[in-house]
Amino acid sequence: MKKNKPMTRRQAIFAGLTSAGALLLSGCLKKAPPTYGNILRMGDDLTYTAQRGLLSQRALAMEYQKSDITSFPVTDIGDPADPKSKAVYSQEYHELQANNFKDWALTVEGSVAKPAKYSMDALKKLGERTQITRHTCEEGWSAIAEWTGVPLGAVLKDAGILPAARFVYFYGYDKYTESIDMLDAFHPQTILAHTMNGEDLPARHGAPVRLRVETQIGYKNIKYLQRIVVTEKFIEPDADISTGWSWYTGI
């Protein structure tokens, strides 16, 4: 299994300390989390470093029984298939949905040897994992559901992820963006979910495919997936840091 490890714990500690040290020295060293300067972001970075250094990176988030499944609210920024939700609306997504997502394909590009577009069938051939897990929203609520999907690690390996790759960026049709590091990307429970509670992912839960990152807070689980970009550098995502939200949310 060691070969599959994208980053050892020692590397994680070292990388974290280096970036924290660089932040303290220069105040604004670019392109490694955090790229941001204020004191709150330094606290977020300390949390990131500590959790990467002190916690087991392969430990699984608690998995529940079928009887634990709860109701599940939809609290996202809007429906990308609805022209009334102006900023979030995507005509392309609208058309894909009208055709029941038969023409949908996930783009995987960036630091990969074989950039490709994966149809749903092609994705499903790469593997499958079913897990009953808890979605923990930053607002304070939580919900339990059963998710089935393709392990993200399998997709990245199939695309031929390059050794220098450090982050994975996700772009949704609702114009939302998220990114995670390689430790979370290759976590066994990090999946591209296409099925929720035994049915095709319902429209407002992110159809046709959404991300599940079980070791982070809810807003990392981007919906309506369109594109994945693997990068060697950290780019400030619009979705969180610039609007005041912590990039790493393992807490």
Partner 1 sequence: MNQSQSEEIKAIRHKRWVKSTHFIITLSFLALTVSGFVILMAHPRLYWGKAGNDLTPALFELPISRNYHHGGWEQTTPFKHLTSSQVSAVRTYDIFNENGWGRSTHFLAAWFLIATGLIYFIVGFFSGHFRNNLAPRAREFSLKLLWRDFVSHFRPQTRPADTQYGLLQKITYLWVIFFLFPVVILTGFTMSPAITASYPFLLKIFFGHQSARTIHFFAAVLLLLFLVLHIVMVIRTGFKRNIIAITFGSNHEKK
Using CB under 8 A as the binding rule, whether residue 87 contacts partner 1 is answered as no
User: What is the rounded CA–CA span in Å between residue 41 and residue 242?
Assistant: 11
Using CB under 8 A as the binding rule, whether residue 75 contacts partner 1 is answered as yes
Phi, psi of 169 (to 5 degrees): -105, 140
Residue (5 or 134) nearer to partner 1, CB: 134
Using CB under 8 A as the binding rule, whether residue 51 contacts partner 1 is answered as yes
Which 3 state secondary structure label does DSSP give 231? strand
Using CB under 8 A as the binding rule, whether residue 21 contacts partner 1 is answered as no
User: What is the rounded CA–CA span in Å between residue 209 and residue 147?
Assistant: 11
Which 3 state secondary structure label does DSSP give 16? helix
Query: Considering the complex, what minimum distance in angstroms separates the CB of residue 179 from partner 1?
Result: 16
Using CB under 8 A as the binding rule, whether residue 55 contacts partner 1 is answered as yes
Tokens encoding 217: 């807070």
Tell me if 42 sits within 8 A of 29, measured CB to CB. Answer: no
Using CB under 8 A as the binding rule, whether residue 212 contacts partner 1 is answered as no
Residue (192 or 201) nearer to partner 1, CB: 201
Residue (28 or 40) nearer to partner 1, CB: 40
Residue (90 or 246) nearer to partner 1, CB: 246
Query: Considering the complex, what minimum distance in angstroms separates the CB of residue 45 from partner 1?
Result: 10
Helices 39-54 and 9-26 pack at an angle, to 10 degrees, of 160
Using CB under 8 A as the binding rule, whether residue 40 contacts partner 1 is answered as yes
Query: Considering the complex, what minimum distance in angstroms separates the CB of residue 166 from partner 1?
Result: 19
Which of 211, 103, 100, 118 lies closest to 157, judged by CA? Answer: 118
Peptide bond between residue 208 and the one before it cis (omega within 30 degrees of 0): yes
Tokens encoding 229: 């970009």
Using CB under 8 A as the binding rule, whether residue 37 contacts partner 1 is answered as no
Using CB under 8 A as the binding rule, whether residue 83 contacts partner 1 is answered as no
Residue (111 or 190) nearer to partner 1, CB: 190
Residue (79 or 158) nearer to partner 1, CB: 79
Considering only 20, 32, 112, 144, the residue that binds partner 1 (CB under 8 A) is 144
Residues 6+ apart with CB under 8 A from 241: 34, 35, 36, 41, 247
User: What is the rounded CA–CA span in Å between residue 167 and residue 161?
Assistant: 11
Please give the residue ranges that form the binding site for partner 1 (CB under 8 A): 39-44, 46-47, 51, 55-56, 59-62, 64, 68-75, 79, 134, 136-144, 196-199, 202, 204-205, 214-217, 243-246, 250-251
